[in-house]
Amino acid sequence: AQVKPEDQIKYRQAGYSFMAWNMGKIKANVEGEYNAQQVQAAANAIAAIAGSGMGALYGPGTDKAVGDRKTRVKPEFFQNMEDVGKLATDFNAAAANLAKVAATGDKAAVQKAFGETGATCKACHDKYRAD
Ligand code: ASC
């Protein structure tokens, strides 16, 4: 079934928002007291969403606000799908690696994998997100 453009934007924003909450939990753990179980659960959630096919939520009509549903995606995103695909693949790989490393409970290794994951988030924001 066809997902309406405004719903595609809503769902992708929900995905990023939920990943951001989990990134924040991992950040708090690597900067303070470390709870390996919490980090593993958060990393697994991020990896699952990252690998869930969010690209399907950037269909026609989702390049600008639809009614009250705003979006920060830049027009350039839709003109550089090959580059976007590479950035998405990098993010997916980094998130999968973060989950793998989180399963070991090694805080220093998680700190490194977390930094690498955040860098793949930022790489896309810098190019294709307004603000
Ligand atoms: C986060 C979050 C992002 C990324 C990015 C990394 O926790 O909400 O968008 O990490 O800030 O640079």
- What is this model's ipTM? 0.92
Please, which residues bridge with residue 73 across strands? 129
Range of the domain at 48: 5-128
Q: Measure 111 CA to ligand 1 centroid, in angstroms.
A: 14
19, 23, 39: residue to mutate for ligand 1 pocket, most atoms within 8 A of CB: 23
CA distance 19 to 12: 11
Residue 122 in contact with ligand 1 by CB distance below 6 A: yes
Report the chain (131 residues): mean pLDDT per 10 consecutive residues.
Answer: 93 98 98 98 99 97 97 98 98 98 98 98 98 85
Token digits of residue 31 = 């900067």
DSSP element (H, E) containing 9:
helix 5-31
- Can you tell me the distance from the alpha carbon of 35 to that of 92, in angstroms, rounded to the nearest whole number? 24
Contact criterion met (CB below 8 Å) for 57 and 11: yes
Neighbours of 95 (CB within 10 A): 26
Q: How many Å lie between the centroid of ligand 1 and the Cα of residue 1? A: 32
What pLDDT score was predicted for residue 1?
Answer: 66
Domain count, the chain: 1
Ligand 1 site, residue 9, Cβ cutoff 6 A: no
Report the CATH number that the domain containing residue 113 is assigned in CATH.
1.20.120.10
